[in-house]
């Protein structure tokens, strides 16, 4: 059976998933699942996905027949580069060149996990922040010193060049792209279908903080939902410690261990996330949203929002409400 390959240049949200020998199947399949299956709630066109490679390629333990060649990357709106199994060798030169040409042609280029080594080899990350699986951040920094490697985030969004950390963080970045393109409501629908959180702690900030564990049983399992129900209230560390029935110092140790950050920073992250949700889903004024997110005043919200997200609340609303 012959598959008809669409003219990718005519599809605004065409997605080209690059495939080459030595890639890992998890990240490739994950990207195909997110972008290849349109949820029923989407009012307009969804993504048009093609797998691009040179002839049949070995992906993990599977043999994959690509839809088209790597030259089609230059005609895609978004190029996804999945993880490479062996980062100790230079990535394939033809893939590096195809990604470089695609970026020069205006494509949004996205690496999942160790796919970042392809972007770095193509020179797309020079002077930019990037991340990858924590086990390979030192290697990335050593081989590509012009890249600002951040080992502590789930993903980095530089606009038209994005990188994710390892494994499950690839899902976070893929959902972030859906959120950018279609808004939070559709991203939530996709996440619900995949039985994953639509976005983990840090929301859609350019640099996403260490996620809060979803599993029960940790010392903060009851406290965190309690806080989330009271984000509009002026909570302090002492309030959280009192609710958790522990000292402030003990609470801080648990927060650092479980969330990777302090109680105050985690609380601020959740307030920013709540503000993002309200900016996307309501027409409420910035003052009203500031109060609902527990930020007090619009001035306070604007200061923290811009510092965390990189844009003002009004600019963020224009982007995501559009």
Instruction: Enumerate long-range contacts of 306-309, CB under 8 Å, 24 or more apart.
Output: 308/205, 308/268, 308/269, 308/272, 309/204, 309/205, 309/206, 309/272, 309/276
| Confidence (pLDDT) at 294 | 95
| Sequence-separated (6 or more) residues with CB below 8 Å from residue 55 | 66
- Average pLDDT across each block of 10 residues of the chain; the chain has 322 residues. List them in order: 37 83 90 90 87 84 87 95 93 96 96 96 96 90 95 88 91 91 86 76 36 59 91 94 93 85 90 90 94 95 87 82 59
Would you give the DSSP letter of residue 23?
B
Q: Do 99 and 18 form a contact (C-beta atoms < 8 A)? A: yes
Q: Which pTM does this prediction carry?
A: 0.63
Phi, psi of 53 (to 5 degrees): -165, 175
E-strand stretches of 3-106 = 14-18, 48-52, 57-59, 62-64, 78-81
| Confidence (pLDDT) at 180 | 87
- The secondary element (H helix, E strand) that includes residue 143 is helix 137-143
Burial class (CB in 10 A: 0-12, 13-18, 19+), 44: exposed
For residue 196, count other CB atoms closer than 10 A to its CB.
16
| Sequence-separated (6 or more) residues with CB below 8 Å from residue 159 | none
Residues in the chain, how many?
A: 322
Q: How far apart are CA 192 and CA 278, in angstroms?
A: 20
């Amino acid at each position: 059976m012959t598959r008809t390959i669409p003219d990718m240049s005519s599809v605004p949200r065409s997605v080209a998933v690059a495939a080459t020998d030595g890639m890992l199947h998890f990240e490739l399949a994950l990207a195909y699942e997110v972008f290849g299956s349109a949820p029923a709630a989407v009012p307009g066109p969804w993504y048009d996905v093609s797998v691009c490679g040179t002839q049949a390629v070995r992906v993990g333990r599977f043999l994959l027949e690509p839809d088209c060649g790597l030259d089609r990357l230059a005609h895609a709106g978004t190029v996804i580069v999945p993880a490479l199994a062996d980062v100790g060798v230079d990535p394939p030169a033809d893939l590096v060149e195809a990604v470089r040409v695609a970026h020069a042609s205006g494509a949004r280029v996205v690496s999942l996990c160790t796919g970042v080594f392809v972007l770095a080899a193509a020179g797309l990350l020079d002077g930019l922040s990037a991340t990858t699986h924590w086990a390979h951040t030192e290697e990335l920094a050593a081989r590509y010193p012009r890249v600002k490697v951040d080992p502590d985030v789930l993903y980095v969004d530089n606009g038209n060049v994005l990188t994710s950390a390892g494994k499950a963080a690839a899902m976070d970045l893929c959902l972030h792209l859906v959120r950018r393109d279609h808004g939070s409501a559709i991203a939530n629908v996709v996440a619900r279908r995949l039985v994953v959180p639509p976005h983990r702690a840090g929301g859609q900030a350019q640099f996403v903080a260490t996620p809060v564990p979803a599993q029960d049983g940790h010392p903060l399992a009851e406290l965190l939902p309690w806080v989330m129900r009271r984000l509009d209230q002026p909570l302090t560390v002492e309030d959280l410690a009192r609710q958790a029935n522990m000292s402030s110092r003990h609470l801080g140790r648990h927060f650092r261990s479980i969330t990777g950050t302090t109680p105050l920073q985690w609380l601020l992250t959740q307030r920013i996330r709540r503000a993002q949700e309200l900016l996307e889903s309501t027409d409420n004024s910035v003052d009203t949203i500031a109060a609902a997110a527990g930020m007090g005043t619009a001035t306070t919200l604007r200061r923290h929002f811009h510092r965390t997200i990189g844009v003002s609340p009004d600019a963020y609303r224009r982007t995501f409400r559009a």
